[in-house]
């Protein structure tokens, strides 16, 4: 009888400890699921940006990131996290006048950098105070028409400009 009186209340302490660990595990699973989902969306954004860059005129390079980011359902990812570059046959970035060097462009690269996800405060032991940085995603595609409909013509396929305020 004395043993039972000493153990009164021990079950509630065990339940509290076990339930805390179970809830922490559930939060961890949900947060990591959201992290993996956001990584997949960022990867899809680089793929879409590279595809648009292969068929849009080279002067619309800055508009492509804005067009792609409008449709992304994650917070904190902006057009500044997405960069588009044109590469020559050796894979070097072409930084000089793109219109003059149009024939030298052989590949298009879209890269997502500087993005991460902030986890809830209970999971602050992961990453840097709960911030998990996403790896740099990169998609490289061979260039197609780059927005030029016909050779030696002024007809170009222009990508839409990013609409401000939407």
Residue by residue, pLDDT tens for the chain (166 residues) are 555 566 666 778 888 889 988 988 898 888 888 888 888 988 999 999 999 888 888 888 888 888 888 878 887 788 888 888 999 888 888 877 776 677 788 899 999 888 877 776 666 666 566 677 788 889 999 888 777 766 666 665 566 665 444 4
b/e code 65-95 from CB counts within 10 Å (16+ = b): bbbbbeebebeebebebbbbbbbeeeeeebe
- DSSP category for residue 104: G
pTM (2 d.p.): 0.73
Distant-in-sequence, close-in-space partners of 49: CB < 8 Å, separation ≥ 6: 64, 65, 68, 82, 84, 110, 139
What are the structure tokens assigned to 133, written together?
């940085």
Distant-in-sequence, close-in-space partners of 69: CB < 8 Å, separation ≥ 6: 45, 77, 78, 79, 81, 82
């Amino acid at each position: 009888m004395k043993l039972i009186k000493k153990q009164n209340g021990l079950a509630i302490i065990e339940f509290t400890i076990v339930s805390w660990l179970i809830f922490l595990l559930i939060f961890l699973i949900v947060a990591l699921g959201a992290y993996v989902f956001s990584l997949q969306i960022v990867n899809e954004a680089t793929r879409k940006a590279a595809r648009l860059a292969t068929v849009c005129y080279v002067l619309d390079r800055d508009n492509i990131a804005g067009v792609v980011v409008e449709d992304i359902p994650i917070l904190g990812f902006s057009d500044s996290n997405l960069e588009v570059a044109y590469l020559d046959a050796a894979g070097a970035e072409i930084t000089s006048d793109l219109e003059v060097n149009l024939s030298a462009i052989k590949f298009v690269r879209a890269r997502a950098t500087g993005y991460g996800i902030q986890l809830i405060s209970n999971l602050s032991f992961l990453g840097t105070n709960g911030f998990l940085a996403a790896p740099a995603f990169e998609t490289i595609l061979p260039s197609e028409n780059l927005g030029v409909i016909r050779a030696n013509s002024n007809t170009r396929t222009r990508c839409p400009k990013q609409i401000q305020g939407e």
